[in-house]
Amino acid sequence: MDCSLLWTSRPDDFRRAFSLVAEYLRTPEDAYALSDYGPALGRRFRSLKLWAVLRCYGREGLQRIVREHVRLAELFAGWVDADPDWELIAPQRFSLVVFRLRGSDDENAALLERVNRTGEIFISHTRLSGRYVLRFAIGNARTTEEDVRRAWDVLRRGRTHG
């Protein structure tokens, strides 16, 4: 949140677009003045979050985490797809699974409320093609296969209590 990354093969174009003319902000030509590459001069150091993550995990570490999240989402999507009481509503993308209990929108909304109230998991919802659907998103670096299995168990238990 509040941080983004942009790779460009044309940094000189960015420097010309965002360069400030105030004399006190000028730097030698061979020095990088980060203010010349974006409009956020004088604002919060938003990129610190990104820098810290890259510094802690590195490229390979981030790749491992993303790949594991995708694998866990594929596992969860497989369980949903194999259970006749549930349905996948959209293709699983990255670490997001969009699904629902076969039933009414009201039943799915009540299920979401029940499982979130347990405090064991938190899922969100959206509307897709006019239908109330559930969203299971994996985004924490510490999420394990056991956590995903627990979430599936909580959802299946929640289906039968209500």
45-93 per-position pLDDT tens digit: 677 888 888 999 999 999 999 999 999 999 999 999 999 999 999 998 9
Percent of the chain with pLDDT over 70: 78
In angstroms, the CA 41 to CA 138 distance is: 34
Work out whether the CA dihedral 76, 79, 83, 87 comes out positive or negative: positive
pTM over 0.75: no
24-33, 54-63, 119-128: lowest mean pLDDT where? 24-33
Q: Which domains does the chain have, with CATH numbers?
A: 11-44 (no CATH), 59-160 (3.90.1150.10)
Amino acid at 155: L
State the burial class of residue 123 (Cβ atoms within 10 Å of its Cβ: 0-12, 13-18, 19+). Answer: middle
Average confidence score pLDDT of the chain: 86
